[in-house]
Amino acid sequence: MGLPDQQAPGDIAQNEHSFSLSQSYKEALEERFYDFDYYLIEFEQSIRGLRAGAPVEYRGTRIGTVVEAPANVIINGKPAHFKNHNTAVPVLIKIEYGRLYHDNDLAKEYWQTSLNGWVNNGMRASLKPGNLLTGAVYVDFDIYTDAPDAKLEKLAQYDVFPSISSGITVLADQVSDVLNKVNELKIEDSLAQMQATFSDYQGLANDMRDLLNQKDTQNLPGDFNQNFKKMTKSMEQFEVTMRQFDKTMASYQAGSQFNNQLQQTLQEFKRLSEQLQPLTKGLNEQPNMFIFDKALPADPKPRKQ
């Protein structure tokens, strides 16, 4: 016999007290989280792969369990998600305070007094892949500073927690969107324009060289007027070419529309890479996470008192 870590012994059992038995020590540990609150989460994406019993986590720490996916909440004799113009899929979860801290009362007070502040600061629920081979997913809580403003809503007797769309599909869409914006910058057109400008410079230099090498130019004032006209024309061409070059280079300078678009696109790449970091970190820590479920800590072993 033994006790879970950091759990104090209970009262001495009285005669004829009934004890519930579990199939395993692991199940017994799961069933001890008797103090919890239910929450609804409405997802604007597919919940395929989400099953009852899936973990609910905050940055890798389990804090609850999925109860129903989709949730069967009845209001006035029909499912709550049958509301007009509502495309979200509801999921029922429970936050188990014993998972936050071994003192249930202290953990519950901390959660309930902090929750509204967390939501105001960008705390959202999302679906994350646990096993890409089986398609299993779990619910993850995290802080998203750029998330749209939201607050806890009420549906039937449940608080509704705000969510954001996530997952590999969303990341792929974001990559595609960023690449499309890069294509719209028309970098190739700008580079081609610059190449043409440099070609004009080269042609102008050749014209000036030919002009200076002519005998008439070297024997001024022979045909001075005629050569002067040619030189003037070449200088006019030089001025036009210079203006074109300045215009082309200005499009790359700080504050220009092209530069602003490029900076915005680079910022989107940065945000996208930050979103990919948890996935790459998980792959580094567990390369087979796409095949097997996310590795969990080993079950505690019973110990004698």
In this predicted structure, what is the pLDDT of residue 187? 62
Residue ending a domain, among 165, 197, 218, is: 165
Residue with tokens 């006209």: 229
Domain co-membership, 112 together with 160: yes
In this predicted structure, what is the pLDDT of residue 77? 77
Answer yes or no: is 60 within a domain. yes
Answer yes or no: is 139 within a domain. yes
Domain co-membership, 152 together with 187: no
Domains: count for the chain:
2
Answer yes or no: is 276 within a domain. no
In this predicted structure, what is the pLDDT of residue 45? 85
In this predicted structure, what is the pLDDT of residue 96? 93
Domain co-membership, 99 together with 216: no
Answer yes or no: is 259 within a domain. yes
Name residues of the chain where pLDDT drops below 70.
1-11, 17-33, 83-84, 132-133, 167-263, 265-305
Q: How close are the terminal C-alpha atoms of the chain, in Å? A: 8
pTM of the model: 0.52
Domain co-membership, 60 together with 156: yes
Please check whether residue 44 is in contact with residue 38, taking contact to mean a CB–CB distance below 8 angstroms: no
Domain co-membership, 73 together with 107: yes
Domain co-membership, 203 together with 161: no
Domain co-membership, 160 together with 189: no
Domain co-membership, 161 together with 33: yes
Tokens of 289: 């996470």
User: Domain limits at 239?
Assistant: 182-266
In this predicted structure, what is the pLDDT of residue 147? 87
Answer yes or no: is 280 within a domain. no
In this predicted structure, what is the pLDDT of residue 34? 75
Tokens of 20: 């519930």
Domain co-membership, 144 together with 42: yes
Residue ending a domain, among 114, 130, 165, is: 165
Answer yes or no: is 232 within a domain. yes
Residue ending a domain, among 165, 197, 225, is: 165
